[in-house]
Amino acid sequence: MYSQYLPKSVAIIPDGNRRWAKLHKFRLVTGYDIGINKAIDVSIWLSKLKIKSLSIWALSTENIKNRNKDELKLLYKLYKSTALDQKVLDKLKKHDAKVIIIGNLNLLPKGVRDALKKLEYATKDHKSTIINLLIGYGGQEDILFAVKKMLSDKLKNKIKTINQKVFQSYLRSASLMNPDLIIRTSGEMRLSGFLPWQSTYSELYFINKYWPEFNESDLKTAIKDYAKRHRRYGK
């Protein structure tokens, strides 16, 4: 692969943790625990290819609304313990990886919010790799949030004009690079509201493997597939 054909930014919908755990007769917590830690591994695999930016969807607004409460409690416990785990912090420091939290954190329990903010602060000076962790995030909610905030500022004469650049600046996900490549695991072939504003010209790659099974070879295969594509951007 030649560097000019590599994506600059990769985004992932890490689907299939529950199905993988059920298939292998593991406890649900095992599937989620492997899935959460795999995000860091993927960022390391990408950094070997000189790809700096990874955006990964940890928990959607729909998950928070529709998932079983006990399952959500389990997820929250894992997110909190992982964010405060010194081994995780040491691994992120070793690989100079910064974590940026994106989403409506008000949807999360305070203990989880605080832990995630501590993780973000602890890694703020790292520069080699960026892990954008989307949690409490939904694409439609993101756009609605931007519209409400932007119109409020417009009525207060804080902004003079509304255009694409201005609108994007109001998104919760405003700091994200538009992903060149979006990967979804588990065989599902849809985006489910993932980054609707930024994904307009993203290349999509679907793999029929559950997220806990996804490995470095799978990632390289996806990127090789991307490198063969001709991106036209509406031309």
Annotated active-site positions, please?
A: 15, 63
Planar angle of CA 125, 176, 63, nearest 5 degrees = 105
Work out the end-to-end distance of the chain between its first and last CA atoms, rounded to an integer number of angstroms: 25
Q: What are phi and psi of 212, to 5 degrees?
A: -60, -20
Going from the C-alpha of 44 to that of each of 35, 181, 234, the distances in angstroms are 15, 17, 33
Going from the C-alpha of 140 to that of each of 39, 198, 209, the distances in angstroms are 24, 12, 27
Q: What are phi and psi of 183, to 5 degrees?
A: -110, 135
